[in-house]
Amino acid sequence: MKIICYKDKLIKALNSVVKGVASKTTMPILEGILIQTNDNEIKLTTNDLEIGIEYIMDCEVKEQGSTVVNAIMFSEIIRKLPDTEIYISVNDKNLLEIECEGSLYKLATMNPDEFPELPKIEIENSIEVEQNTLKNMIRKTIFAVSNEETRPIFTGCLFEIENNKLSVVAVDGFRLALRNIYLNKQTNDFKAVIPGKTLNEVNKIISDSFEPIKIGVAKNQALFEMDNCKIVTRILDGEFLNYKNVIPSNWETRMKVNKSSLQNSFERISLISASTIEKEKKYPVKVQVDIGKITISCTNQTGDAKEELFVATEGKNLEVGFNPKYFLDSLKAIDDEEVYVEFGSSISPCLIKSIDNNDYTYMILPIRLKE
């Protein structure tokens, strides 16, 4: 194998595929990148058996061939080389040679025949969205994915297509994040739960552009396809939460509030809530809603804090406790200037919603306050 390629193109390809390299494995081959030539292009592939990534790029191929090389070592060497042409070849001792100006590196290789192929997916249903739209939907939901492996189905986001509307839902038992968009093209109804780990990597690879990305699903696999990059992942098994039944449809108390003001107040209050003296203990923040204002407060052994905001309120007065992190995570994901915050009772879920449309909903469960 002999190829010549420019550093900037190779770095772009490596930045995409390196996210599919296994970090902890007893199989050294999974720590590698499979490099294969095909006419005047090369295909780079990584596969940790949960997520597989394939990237095809143009380059000058002098001699066809394939090899596997340690991904981290290879990508770090390429990253530090001068911004010019790089000559890559496999010598007669089966070492990968990397030449660039005065630099020469030789790396051990592995047998490409032992590298696990990406699963062949027979797509049953698919949708196409703009990359910046998907990026936005992942950013606004992924923080609510569960980290607890005891309930693996909640370690992913539900992608549900119903009546040409795509809903992405994340839930961890304490909060729920929901983002909706309507699709431009008519498509079948279907749903799949994509692992949060995969979505984090997809989010790093896709661009903030109007370029399309195709999402296809089969029985137990999903495929993200764009430009010259392909990402294959497993679909999580199990029954996802019937989220439509748990989101309250009525409220007893509602306020209309400036998002940034509410976020700033919660950030300051959480300095007291996340006590530095008792690092393991998080104190709830009390939210008291009165006519025309809300009071956010917290008291613990470190001290106490109180913030008042004058807001438009409707309905009953209320006192309720929350984990401030859950409130902040939701507020940080919202771009709107103003939001509705809706409450049922002191033990009912709280909703944060858009004022102008229904494209997102955040639900947070309260914490019982001590009398």
Residue 275 banded pLDDT, cuts 50, 70, 90: low
Q: How many CB atoms lie within 10 A of CB 165?
A: 13
The pLDDT of residue 303 is 85
Whole-angstrom CA distances from 97 to 113, 162, 368 are: 20, 52, 63
3-state secondary structure of 324: helix
DSSP classification of residue 284: P
pTM above 0.85, yes or no: yes
The pLDDT of residue 154 is 97
- 362 vs 141: CA distance, rounded Å: 9
What number does CATH give the domain 125-242?
Answer: 3.10.150.10
The yes-or-no verdict on residue 281 having pLDDT over 70 is: no
DSSP classification of residue 171: E
DSSP classification of residue 367: B
CATH class of the region 2-114: alpha beta
The pLDDT of residue 359 is 93
For the chain, give every residue range classified as CATH 3.10.150.10.
2-114, 125-242, 247-364
- 215 vs 232: CA distance, rounded Å: 10
Is-contact 283 324, C-beta < 8 A?
Answer: no
Q: How many CB atoms lie within 10 A of CB 261?
A: 14
The two tokens of residue 176 are: 């729920």
The pLDDT of residue 282 is 63
Task: Provide the mean pLDDT of the chain.
Answer: 93
Q: How far is CA 331 from the centre of its chain?
A: 17
pLDDT tens track for 299-310:
888 789 999 999
Q: How many CB atoms lie within 10 A of CB 308?
A: 13
The pLDDT of residue 238 is 93
Region of poorest pLDDT, from 159-163, 207-211, 349-353: 207-211
What number does CATH give the domain 247-364?
Answer: 3.10.150.10
Compute the C-alpha angle 251/252/254, nearest 5°: 75
